[in-house]
Structures are given as structure tokens and as C-alpha cells.
Structure 1
């Protein structure tokens, strides 16, 4: 495969010798007595002070490449070809002592999941001090003062209090800030940021990325940003390296690539970004003409005396997509669970398909269960691991059919299960597979098939694409649009991603701390927001620099 090289404006003699040079890198994992290559022939350079975004879908090899750069491949992985240069030093095959000398001091990592990267039984301040203990000559008092300075640098107030807190006492964004403080503690020349914001809400993601940009601007540190989010890559990087199936298919200036991508795969990834796939026509007229399917009035749900949902009212009409948006803890999922009869309201009224379901409980709600189905964020966790796909999809049918006589017939509902799978764009032969054999997108399609098997009128979609690669997410959104047009389904769509919400919704309600701060037709809310919180959410949408992105 021919690999594109950086444009002339980015050559080393123009902007300085590269901080990082990856030359024909091949990485493999041990299989028997040999190695199976998973990254092949990757080459790129990163000049000082710039950000290189390493992008691609799951399995593309981007994280393996990053781990090879850091010397963090698992025991069964190895660099089997090419070399990696840091400054003027070959770091491929360094000894453990050699890695200890540079990792954390000259090259550092901001990992994806702070929940797994921080010791839960130690205070966060001393954990950042560990970097200084390893790589500086500072005494204990000086190390503590330096950590306080770092905590101020990453935006903490009351830094002495933060120093003494445990990870579980911090939000996800705060924990990520702690990891950034640790990553910059020894003033490294290169930071590898591995999906540093993938688990964060949009506004927190923006804050963290702004922080990385600010720190880079102050210190001149170079950054490799590993991400599957083309919007983030377009907004935040100078150079773009696009990976697919372990190979680098395109490399160069980010601005040039997003404006004129040369490789078909890059074009496909860019086309799948939700900011570029906004509905071509409004369905507001359809929504206004529909009968009321869901109506909630002054809904309140308390846990331990605290209100998770605090007196909200909304109306969803038949055939429309009504989205609830907001950050974690805003109350949107709790609202959906009350509507679905999975938890009881503390007060207020819920009407579903003309029936007052307030206070019915799960047993009383059962007659309406056929009409309202849920598709969850992580379908795998809602599948019985003993079931094959037939059993998974058939499960709702079994719960509503008399058991007598069915045990004598193997797969009595096979035709209906196959029809549901085909409606979810899966072939009939998937009926024999197990969920563990499927990709994330295929599992989500199975979850949609399971939700369709009872022919419901309402689907509650709780973050149904947030765990999926961008192109797979686009396919699921297209599937949902098609099913809605074909079957007249009503969707209650829950998301923290406003780009996705604009792509699929007719109307939207913005939630914050259990209250609705703004609601209306999606175009009105997006183009003429009234509430400051809505404005902050819209400002946090990534991908604005993409051609056709949100303006």
C-alpha cells in the first residue's frame, strides 16, 4: 500500500526536526510459534508543538500503534518490523529500564478510562506526585507544591481539597483532569492521548480538549490524539492519519484531508459524521398532525429525597422522534424509565397511548408492554449469555405466549424472528449465532429486532449509538429512519450528543439537573436557543470545522 506523505508545508526542515517518526511500523500478536500482523507498514512524522490525530474505527490498529509508540504492548504483542524514533533516538525495543527513563518524563500517556487508571484506594494528589518522585529530584514538600500548581493549571479550585480526595469523589471530567495533570507533570515533549474524552459529556469533552490545547500552547508539547471521532479530529489536529485494517490509508494536513479526502474510506468516515447528515426535510407537519402518544405532566421522581426528575412536562405525538438531551445526571434516563413503567413516579401524571399509567407498577403496566419497547446503549449486557440470537429476539414473544404446547415445537416463532431480523437488516442465518460472535453494530441490530418482534407503537432508544463507530452509528440511524417511515413508529430518543439529535429528531427537550430548560422543534432549538445551558451544549458540538458541519 502506498502511504501519503506530509505536504511540503509540514516538512521537518520547515517546522523543525520531528519529535516522533514512525517508520514502516509493523506490529503483531503471537499466534502459536509466530506473529499475526495487526499493524502493517505504518509511517508518519510529528513536528514539534503540533497535534496528530490518529483516527479509525474499532480494529483499525490506531490504539495498537499508540501502545507500540509507548512501549505498552501486551506480553503477546511485539514490533516485528520498522522502527520508532523519538527525537534522534530509536526507542523500538527499549529495555524496561530504558522505558522507565523516558515514559512519564519525555513521553506520557493520557488514557481513555480514568476509572481504570487511578488507584481507587489512594488520594489523587499523591498519585500525581508519583510521576515527580520518579522523574525529578524534588523533595516531598516541593512535590506537593508542584501538584497544587498542576491542579490549578488543569482548572481545579480549592486544590488542597482536591489533592486529598479519592477518585470516586470526583466526576469523570475531574478524574480526567487528574490524569492530564499527571501526564504533564514532568513537562514531556510528547503526549499520547488515547480516546481521552470518549466517555465524557459534550461540554466536559470540550473543556478537556480545550485544556490539552492550552497546555500544548504553553509548553510546545506535541500530541498524538487517538480518536474514532472525526469531528474532534477535524477541530483539534494539525495532521490527520487515517487507519483501516492495520494500514495507514491517508496522511497529511487535517485541513486538506477534510476538504479534499483522497481515499474512499476517509470520505466514508467523513460522510458518516452526524453534523453532516442533518435531515433534508422537516417532519414537523407530520408530528403536529399526530395524536398524542406520550404525555407527562409535572413529573417528579425522587431517590432518597433528592429529585432526579423535578416537575417536567412534555408531549410526544405519534410518528415523531422526540429527543431528550442533557449531560449525565440530567434526568433523561430516569424520565424514560418512568414512561416505560420500569420505575414509579413520585408525583405527577404519565399518560401512554391514552391510558393513565401513573403508579401502575410493573404488573399493572404489563398490558402496555407490547406497545412500548426499549433499545439500550449496551445491548450485550441485556442479553442472556446462554441465548443464541433466536432466543434473544424471541424472548419478548415467549413472555406473552401461553407456555403449554410450545415446548414440543423447536423454534415455534422462527418465521417471526427471521422477519424481525430482516427488518433490522440482518440475514436469516444470524438466528443460530450467539451475541459474543457479533460486532457491536450487529448486536444493536439484534436489540432492535427484539424490540420490533411485538410490533410496538413506541420505541424508547436510550443512547443507542453512543458505543458505536461513526460509520456503524450512521447505519443504525438510517435503519431507524427507515423503520419509522415504514411502520409509523414513535421514538423517544435519549442522547447527550446534540449532533446526533439534530440528525434524527423532530422535536427536542433539553434537560439539566432534573428540569427541562428548553424544548421545541429541533431546528428552532438549534438555530435560536434561548437558555444559556442549551447554548453551552451547542457550542460544545465537535465537527464545526468539517465542510457541511453545524454553524
Structure 2
């Protein structure tokens, strides 16, 4: 018996020019206990489809045509009262961002209890006991303490577990999981997905998994629907869609997955050390964020530092760029001991050491157009103080940097808010290149990008390295990406490097148990590799 049937669904949003369709004629079915993954890049319509199924479209959204049947009920005709009765009890949502979805001023246990208050006849004591049971099911210990905590007291993975507890509280028949592991470390992602799988196996709950991560879809779904530009371009059993994709866009997605699309290595390392770190230590408030770390980076290579949130990798990057002072140890960058330098003292090295951040938009001045963003490092070292003369003198270098980052010259006139995530990251790369540095620190530069855009950025970085002899320090929590771009890798855990060496050696024969866990957590590893 079909649990959910979406037939010829068309959804639009109202704007200044009227109602614009964004999802076109989508048809899918979900059986009890089945996982359907809707995959596609940002703007493909997958989240809009999921929200339409749940009746959670924003005020500007509207189902234009088609039908959505859940068991024997037509959902497009439900009243507000009908949705209140159904949503949370029979169908529920695991949202993407727990930081937005949880009330910051209420205890998390009380927020889960809200579902029970609305959909059950349990008294206060029974509701609290039920929340304790749910917290145990999602892997919490000391559940009463967790009940009383506020969202800010929990890690990202813990907050996501709270949302899962709320979604399953009334034992629904269908869960829409909207990017439930986006932004989580690989091992935490695996724990959350294992939890959803376990609950599905125990209760028979069906899942519609909305994700841009083809690896996650490959690992966790029975059926995959591929969406592009609001249309379902391919749908079928997961193994078939991954192994023998029929649509060009699906083939593009499969080929873009880093674990399967490792870039050819042309290691140009000269043997000259450009970075040397010895016994690095950084303490915050009595806690050692980095402890006894040592490594070296050679000219022309890509050296990756990989680990989960809190491992110390980003702190290390900030010390390398002079944004944070080391507590002890020694750090030499391009022959200069920067260990005790202030930001002002590090300034002479800024021409040669640049950084590209995870979220470029947050590092852009909101008043600046693209030209201003890319020119910013040049202004810091400019001798000419008259703005119009300075801008004219810098125009050629700014345009050259944009073109090196595969952006046309006319992008200089645009504002970053008008650009896609991939275009913004290219602007950030152009800004890093404009001073013609020798070393670029890349701090999670593609973690927020869709898979095909991420592949384009990785290819761009590799090309620029080959053309300019750049040295990269690549910070990431994603081992699949590290394998695609790096020559050597250091694995960090709890502030220490537990393993380092050539990337193929570490991947093929890991020596530390933590490295083994990270490798095992790579989503889609088995199916995507088998599909080669």
C-alpha cells in the first residue's frame, strides 16, 4: 500500500510579477518503511517539494496544481485545523538548521514535550517520562540533565538529535528530513543517519530525505529522485541511479562527488620548507585547543589538516595567518618566526600569506561591490591615498584576479548579494590572489557548496596552484575532499595530530583508530566507488 503519492505537483511563489512556478509536474511515491532521497543543488526545488508535502510553504508559496495524497487523505485540501491535527502526529519534519528551529530561551526537553501536549492525552509526569525515553532513543545519557539544557549548551549534533526526538515523539508514519546532517562533521553525520535508520527499522516510518549530498543519498535511500531547475529529471532504485545514471545532470552529480573524482596530482613541492611548526600549543581559558602539534609544509604542495569541529584545525590556521597568537612552541612562515607576533607585527607577511574562509559572504564588507572586495588587500598596502587614483591604479590587477578565478570582468560591478555561493567563493579566491601570495590558507572553502560547484572550485584551486606554484594549507573535516586535492595530510583530534603522511598512504593504510573512524564515516563511499 502506497503511503505517500505526489502526482503532477506544481508549486509557485508570488512576487512583484505575480505567481512564478518553481516546481514543475513532480510525481513520486513512497511506500511504508521506504526512504526516498530527493537530491539536487540549491534552487533545484527539492526543499520546496518537501515543504509542500507538509503544508509548510511560506505565505508567498502556493500549490498551483497536482495532488498530494497521504494514505487516503488529500493534503492539498486540508484546512489549517486539519494540518495541526496531522502534522507532528502522522507526518513530521526534521528541519535543516537546529540553531533556527529551536527556541533559544526554552529548555530543549520542554520543546519536545510540546508535541506530546498537542497530540497525546498524557499528563505532565507521563510526558516528561516520554521525553526521557525519546532522549535515550536518540543516544543521550543523563537525560534529565539534557531535558533542562538550553540549545546553546548543546553541540550541533546534539541539537539535531533533539529535533529528531521531537519529530518521532508521536511515532509518525512519515518523516520529511530536510538536509538533516548539513554542516555536521562526518562522524556526527553518520551517528544521526544511523539513528534515523534505526528508528525506521523499528517503527516502519517512511522517510523523504532532502539532501544535496549524493553520498548521503547513496548510503541511506532505497529510491533516488534527482531534481534540477524544479523538475524531477530522473527517479529510480538507488543502486541503478548511481550505477547507471540516465540523465546528463545525474551523471554530472555522480562524477562531481570528490570520493570518486580525485584530481590528478602534479606535486610541484620543491623541498623548500615554507611553513615549519614545532610543538605548537594554544590555550583558551585553561583548555588546550592545540597541544604539541608539529608539521611542515613545502613550497608548491597542498598540505591538508583534517578533523572534526573542536579538533584544533581552525585554531592552527588562525595562528599561521597571524590572527591568533600561539601560547608556546614555534611557528615559522616563509622564514619568519611568527610565534609571538601581534597582528600588526604579522603585517609584512600579509602580501605573501592570504586566507580563504568557509563563508565568504560573512567576510565581505556589506557596503562593497565585488571590485571593492577584491581590491581591499591592495588598498591595505597602497601608497596612493586619493581614492579615485588608487582605484584606477588597481583596476588591472583586480580584473586579472577575477579572471584568474574564472569570473568575467563585468562581475566587478556586481554586489556579492547578487551572486551564488560558488561565485562568492570565487570572489574570495580572487581577493586572496590579488596580492600574488606564496601561501594560501583555505579554511573549509567548499563545505557550504553544492557538490558540482565544489568540484569546480577544487579544479580551479588545482589549476591556480599549477600555474602559480602556490602552496596551500587546506583545512577540512571532509576526507573525501582532502583526498581529491591534497598531497599530504595531518589528522587532528582533540588538539593533537594523531597521524600524518602522504594522502594515499593515510587513506589506504590508516594507522590511528580515529583516522579509521573518519574514513568509515565518508558518506556513499562503497556504492560510489563501486560505480566507477
Short-chain TM bin: over 0.9
1:79 to 56, 63, 68: 63
CA contact (8 A) 1:56 1:62 kept: yes
Aligned to 2:101: 117
Determine whether 1:461 maps to 2:445: no
Change (3 A) 1:20 1:470: same
Give the whole-Å Cα distance in 2 for the aligned partners of 1:367 and 1:90: 67
TM-score where L is the length of structure 1: 0.95
Determine whether 1:366 maps to 2:347: yes
Determine whether 1:101 maps to 2:101: no
- Equivalent positions of 1:146-165 (< 5 A) are 146-165=130-149
Change (3 A) 1:410 1:457: closer
Give every structure 1 segment of 4 or more consecutive aligned residues whose post-TM-superposition deviation is greater than 3 Å.
279-283, 404-410
Give the whole-Å Cα distance in 2 for the aligned partners of 1:441 and 1:291: 33
Change (3 A) 1:405 1:282: closer
Give the whole-Å Cα distance in 1 for the aligned partners of 2:302 and 2:273: 13
Aligned to 1:12: none
Structure 1 residues not aligned, in runs of 5+ = 1-16
Q: What do the CA deviations read for 1:369-400 (whole angstroms, capped 9, x no partner)?
A: 10000000111111111111111111111111
SS in 2 for 1:156: coil
Aligned to 2:74: 90
CA contact (8 A) 1:510 1:534 kept: yes
Aligned to 1:11: none
Q: What do you get for the CA RMSD once the two structures are aligned?
A: 1.4
CA contact (8 A) 1:510 1:516 kept: yes
Aligned to 1:8: none
Aligned to 1:298: 279
Give the whole-Å Cα distance in 2 for the aligned partners of 1:33 and 1:407: 39
Aligned to 2:474: 493
SS in 1 for 2:525: coil
Change (3 A) 1:233 1:215: same
- Cα deviation for residue 170 of structure 1 reads 1.2
Give the whole-Å Cα distance in 2 for the aligned partners of 1:146 and 1:302: 41
Aligned to 1:53: 37
- Cα deviation for residue 549 of structure 1 reads 6.1
1:377 to 358, 372, 378: 358
Change (3 A) 1:149 1:382: same
Decide which moves more: 351-360 or 260-269: 351-360
Aligned to 1:538: 519
Give the whole-Å Cα distance in 2 for the aligned partners of 1:494 and 1:177: 26
Give the whole-Å Cα distance in 1 for the aligned partners of 2:316 and 2:16: 52
CA contact (8 A) 1:39 1:247 kept: yes
Decide which moves more: 78-87 or 303-312: 303-312
Aligned to 2:157: 173
Give the whole-Å Cα distance in 2 for the aligned partners of 1:107 and 1:443: 37
- Equivalent positions of 1:402-417 (< 5 A) are 402-404=383-385, 407-408=388-389, 410-417=391-398
Give the whole-Å Cα distance in 1 for the aligned partners of 2:108 and 2:402: 48
1:275 to 242, 259, 281: 259
Aligned to 1:527: 508
Aligned to 2:399: 418
Structure 2 residues not aligned, in runs of 5+ = none
1:127 to 111, 119, 131: 111
Aligned to 2:24: 40
Aligned to 1:342: 323
TM-score where L is the length of structure 2: 0.98
Give the whole-Å Cα distance in 1 for the aligned partners of 2:299 and 2:77: 62
SS in 1 for 2:347: helix
- Cα deviation for residue 409 of structure 1 reads 6.0
CA contact (8 A) 1:275 1:549 kept: no
CA contact (8 A) 1:325 1:497 kept: yes
Aligned to 2:203: 219
Give the whole-Å Cα distance in 2 for the aligned partners of 1:410 and 1:338: 32
Aligned to 2:193: 209
Change (3 A) 1:65 1:296: same
SS in 1 for 2:429: helix
CA contact (8 A) 2:265 2:487 kept: no
